[in-house]
Amino acid sequence: MRNLIALSVCCLALGAASAADPPAAKAAPKPIENITPANPSRAANLNGSGLSKLPPAGRPTAATRMSEREREEQAEAELSAKIAERLAAMRANQAARAAAAAKARKDAAAKAAAVAALPPPRARGTHWSYEGELGPAHWSKINDDWAKCGTGNRQSPIDIRDGMKVDLEQVAFDYKPSSFNVQDNGHTVQVTMGGGNFITVGNRMYELVQFHFHRPSEERINGKGYEMVMHLVHKDGEGRLAVLALLMERGKPQPVVQTVWNNLPLEKGDVMAPSIVLDPNELLPQKRDYYTYMGSLTTPPCSENVLWLVMKEPIQASPAQMALFSRLYPLNARPIQPASGRMIKESM
Ligand SMILES: [Zn+2]
């Protein structure tokens, strides 16, 4: 009986141990021998404690073992179910991530293809005019190289006023009769000069390259505009520009203007290269007082850092000469640009 009790105690201990820590259960048999024969008082003590009240050995112990196993199996099944659930969730996540990555790759490829199919992002237009969609308000958007037409703060023409009256050095002219050619370039009538005509101003020598006409005058003087203006474009050895503006009013016929009109080509774009010469000295007014300020080209690309020299005394052309130009170009003047606090100097 004592042995049986000891065995059941042992089994209980074994069951508990195996439930808590299965590998340790293999070490359990040793205490059985120790407890039973060598320490009867302890066995008796155990016998006198709650263990003596245990149900008769046999069935209850088996039932307990069964329920322990069932619990184990149930826990194991629950754990397996949880693991399976977690695995399924992980696999679903993985699949979703893979699908998202594939979609992102596909979208990126579609985007790249769309970008490749687009025209080049830089604006490269070359056509401009004085009115409508290609007019001055849109020049900067037609071609990226013409950005200054919109963003520049040293643009021309301006309304010349509040000049600082100073003892301006005179512009030194070194013009001579020269060969020339005439072209209607679609924006104006332009006369390109043979070399050898110079002006000197501010210790710099500029060579006359070409002159052309605008109607009405682009620049104004204290708000007053003129019927036409002639721009004589000069360039120095470093490529800097100096433009001399000759305001034009109705009066006597102008001989140089007549020579130009006489040699107009019949077709736009064609160049007429007559075998005669033209003397630009004959264009200049008697008085050589002038206004000067830093500005820009008044046509695309509207490049800045252009020295402007606007003669105060207008030159004259006959009404017939004016009328002829107006048949070709009734309006080819850029609107007035903000002076933006620029210094304007004028001869006293
Ligand atoms: Zn011009």
User: Which is more confident, 221 or 56?
Assistant: 221
Domain spans in the chain, listed from the N-terminal domain onward: 2-57, 153-347
3-state secondary structure 317-341: ECHHHHHHHHHHCCCCCCCCCCCCC
Torsion of CA 336, 341, 346, 348, to 10 degrees: 130
Q: Alpha-carbon Rg of the chain, whole angstroms?
A: 52
Q: Is the pLDDT of residue 271 over 90?
A: yes
What mean pLDDT comes out for the span 177-182?
Answer: 98
Q: How far apart are CA 10 and CA 46, in angstroms?
A: 12
User: How many whole angstroms from 325 Cα to the centroid of ligand 1?
Assistant: 14
User: How many whole angstroms from 211 Cα to the centroid of ligand 1?
Assistant: 8
**pLDDT tens string 96-113:** 898 888 898 998 888 888
Q: In which band, very low, low, confident or very high, does the pLDDT at 41 lie, cut at 50, 70 and 90?
A: very low
pLDDT of residue 25: 41
Buried b (16+ CB within 10 A) or exposed e, 134-151: bebebbbebbebbebbee
Residue 177 structure tokens: 């009769």
pLDDT of residue 45: 43
- For residue 35, what is the DSSP state? H
pLDDT of residue 63: 60
**pLDDT tens string 62-100:** 666 668 888 888 888 888 889 889 988 899 899 889 888
Mean pLDDT for the chain overall: 85
User: Which is more confident, 30 or 116?
Assistant: 116
pLDDT of residue 116: 78
**pLDDT tens string 307-347:** 999 999 999 999 999 999 999 999 999 999 999 999 999 99
Q: With pLDDT > 90 as the criterion, what percentage of the chain qualifies?
A: 66
Q: Does pTM surpass 0.75?
A: no
pLDDT of residue 35: 41
Q: Is the pLDDT of residue 145 over 60?
A: yes
Residue 252's nearest CA partner among 324, 320, 313, 318 is 318
User: How many whole angstroms from 233 Cα to the centroid of ligand 1?
Assistant: 8
User: How many whole angstroms from 212 Cα to the centroid of ligand 1?
Assistant: 6
Could you list which residues have their CB under 5 Å from ion ligand 1?
231
Superfamily classification of domain 153-347? Alpha carbonic anhydrase (3.10.200.10)
User: How many whole angstroms from 332 Cα to the centroid of ligand 1?
Assistant: 9
What mean pLDDT comes out for the span 277-281?
Answer: 98
Active site residues: 187, 212, 214, 218, 231, 298
